[in-house]
């Protein structure tokens, strides 16, 4: 097995970054046993800020951890090209500097960033609105699709600055897959984008009774399923297959810019 611990996160871009919400759910598992729900110390709900701080602390520790996070880590290459951004680190830095969604909610940020929104709307009309990984799925939604059911807009636009925060806080112990390479060092923890819709149905019957029936059962199941899939796939020694999707050389270069959803192979 590659990892000692697995963390599955169902994310939310609602509200301010320091506002707690039931829509953020976190499960953690060791190499054996069912994943357990994790809540912040002394509280029952996570905020994006509290989650990022907790993750940074966990990832600085001695355990080798695999984190699955369900929002886009980057935008389609066509968008980055329009904005003159040639690398993922450049995108992260520019995005945090201009969107500031680690300090404010997505809606006011969107209202103030006319150039970004102009580019996003321009791309909505064609296939350029999708990343390559989204074109390999059957039910992808563009990261630019705003205000529709099942949209990943808010979660992605809210979550991206916290990826830069994790890189800064954790340093070389952390590998952001696949932007920093499809492979990683034996002592590194890994954070990867994941989509629970790919496999959550197979774990629905395993969700403990205590987590069933609430208004956020869907969010709970998503986080549980992500964690369980990471754990079981590693137990089966099948993760290397997913860390090396069948891409040609040109596609691999594109994915180092746009990212990839772990689990699509």
| DSSP string for 105-172 | -HHHHHHH-HHHHHHHHHHTTSGGGS-HHHHTSSS---TT--SSTT--HHHHHHHHHHHHHHHHHHGG
pLDDT, tens digit, for every residue of 81-90? 999 999 999 9
Q: Which pLDDT score, from 0 to 100, does residue 127 have?
A: 79
The mean pLDDT value of the chain amounts to 95
Kindly report whether the global pTM for this prediction surpasses the value 0.75. Answer: yes
Cα–Cα distance, 14 to 23 (Å, whole number) = 8
Q: Which pLDDT score, from 0 to 100, does residue 150 have?
A: 73
Sorted by sequence, the CB contacts under 8 Å of residue 247 that are 6+ apart come out as 255
pLDDT bin (cut points 50, 70, 90) of residue 229 is: very high
- Going from the C-alpha of 257 to that of each of 95, 120, 147, 178, the distances in angstroms are 14, 17, 26, 9
pLDDT, tens digit, for every residue of 6-25? 999 999 999 999 999 999 99
pLDDT, tens digit, for every residue of 125-168? 777 899 999 999 877 788 998 977 778 999 999 999 999 999 99
Backbone angles phi, psi at 174, to 5 degrees: -110, 135
Are 98 and 85 in contact by the 8 Å Cβ rule? The answer is no
The residue ranges of every structural domain in the chain are: 1-265
Sorted by sequence, the CB contacts under 8 Å of residue 176 that are 6+ apart come out as 73, 163, 166, 167, 190, 191
More confident residue, 253 or 43: 253
């Amino acid at each position: 097995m590659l990892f000692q611990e697995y963390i599955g996160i169902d994310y939310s871009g609602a509200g301010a970054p320091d506002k707690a919400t039931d829509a953020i759910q976190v499960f953690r598992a060791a190499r054996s046993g069912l994943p357990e729900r994790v809540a912040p110390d002394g509280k029952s709900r996570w905020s994006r800020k509290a989650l990022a701080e907790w993750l940074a602390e966990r990832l600085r520790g001695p355990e080798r951890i695999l984190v699955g996070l369900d929002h886009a880590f980057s935008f389609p290459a066509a968008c980055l090209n329009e904005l003159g951004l040639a690398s993922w680190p450049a995108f992260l830095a520019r995005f945090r500097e201009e969107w500031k969604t680690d300090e404010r909610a997505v809606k006011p940020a969107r209202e103030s960033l006319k150039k970004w929104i102009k580019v996003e709307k321009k791309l909505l009309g064609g296939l350029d609105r999708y990343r390559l990984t989204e074109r390999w799925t059957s039910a992808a939604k563009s990261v630019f699709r705003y205000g529709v059911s099942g949209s990943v807009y808010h979660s992605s636009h809210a979550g991206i600055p916290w990826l830069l925060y994790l890189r800064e806080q954790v340093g070389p112990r952390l590998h952001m897959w696949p932007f920093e390479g499809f492979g990683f060092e034996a002592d590194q923890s890994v954070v990867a984008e994941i989509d629970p819709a790919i496999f959550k149905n197979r774990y629905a019957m395993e969700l403990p009774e205590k987590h069933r029936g609430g208004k956020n059962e869907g969010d709970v199941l998503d986080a549980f399923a992500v964690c369980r899939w990471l754990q079981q796939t590693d137990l089966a020694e099948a993760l290397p297959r997913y860390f090396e999707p069948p891409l040609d050389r040109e596609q691999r270069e594109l994915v180092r810019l746009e990212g990839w959803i772990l689990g699509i192979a």
